[in-house]
Amino acid sequence: MTSQAGWPPAPIDQAAVARSLQPFGRSVTLPPAAYLDPAVFSWEQRHFLGGGWMCLGFGSDLAQPGDQRAEPAGVGSVLLTRDADGGLHAFANTCRHRGSELLESGTTARSNSVICPYHSWTYTLSGELSFASGLTRREGFNASAWGLTELPAAEWHGLIFVDGSGGQAGCLTTALGVLDELVAPYEPERLVIAGRHTYDTAANWKILSENYHECYHCPVIHPELCRVSPPKSAENFPPQPAWSGGRMELRDGTDTMSLDGTSLGVPLRGLDGSGLRTVGYLHIFPNVLLSLHPDYVMTHRLTPLAADRTIIECTWAFPPEALDRPGFDPSYAVEFWDITNWQDWKACESVQRGLASPHAQPGPLSPEEDAVYHFMTTVAHGYQGQPIYAPHEALQPPA
């Protein structure tokens, strides 16, 4: 999610981008440079990944006052803190003295203050400068002018989002709008993460996102998934600017996504009959893939590091009453999706290598890839310098 103000066009062949914006059925995929060119990736870092709302983790990972975490975001990184009153803060991860990282990206700490590891400039958890050796008591030095650069931060259903533009992206809840109607019954903020895997993939983040948006490939590479969910059962929600998604049915006689279709957990308390028989797949632009099951919620959080490298943090969260059951084991869900994930990553890495061929050209989309088309047009509009999202209309889910 990104600024309504727009930005300069991406350094990519705009005529090729325009062909991706032709009506569905006549359009072609994005040009290979969108997945290969470091200059395009650098543009994406500034605008898609660092120029608006981006998910940087889970509120439960900063559960206690004093918790600190640094996460990459666009071309830099962000320092997250939880203050003494439980408030969440996000700061540019750079000391106001000489620019040192306050915390190495990807690491955590717990302290009642933020201390720069270079010269020990010290800040409160809410960002005020409290100590600078040789300067704090110096006449004329105004410590209040040298606090950390704070960025807008919000928690949404247990996920932490930060606006790297510094406030130009507007309100997060307004951007996501009616998505809350779909997610709220699953209560992801109430669930407990009981499984976590980190994958290092040799694929562009957009290839991974496009793969998530369709089950056209499922009969070919996902035999386990097809045994519990018919690949032709996918229905997509009407496209929304900041997010997209749909749902698939479970086969008769199955309870959830697992290798034998059996759930070893408990149904989520907020679901009705439809929710107990379907799995929802949601993509919040740019980097969250949210999979909603009858008995657990799986989240993929993408951290793009290069045009051909993406770190994926995958978590499985279950209701607390499931974890309280004697002998509860989350592996029934984790194992199923670990197998499925690796099948996807292998396919996505093959796409990345194939697009590097000098003979690779954009191709047509299947009628089953309408959600891929929506994602690609979102990216293509962004490449043209257009804002990603606009006010939403009322959600009309599939019948």
Q: What is the pTM of this model?
A: 0.95
- Where does the pLDDT of residue 389 fall: very low under 50, low under 70, confident under 90, or very high at 90 and above? low
Percent pLDDT > 90 in the chain is 92
pLDDT, position 387: 77
**239: pLDDT strictly greater than 90:** no
Confidence (pLDDT) at 180: 95
Tracing tokens 């799995």 back to the chain, one arrives at 279
Within 8 A by CB and 6+ apart from 231, the residues are 215, 216, 218, 219, 222, 225, 248
CATH 1.20.1260.10: does it fit domain 14-29+178-383? no
CA distance linking residue 79 with residue 124, whole number of Å:
13
Q: How far is CA 341 from CA 260, 318, 325, 359, 380, in A?
A: 17, 19, 27, 29, 27
Where are the CATH 3.90.380.10 domain residues in the chain? 14-29+178-383
pLDDT at 392 over 90: no
What does the pLDDT look like over 170-215, one tens digit per residue? 999 998 989 999 999 999 999 999 999 999 999 999 999 999 999 9
The fold of 53-163 is: Rieske Iron-sulfur Protein (2.102.10)
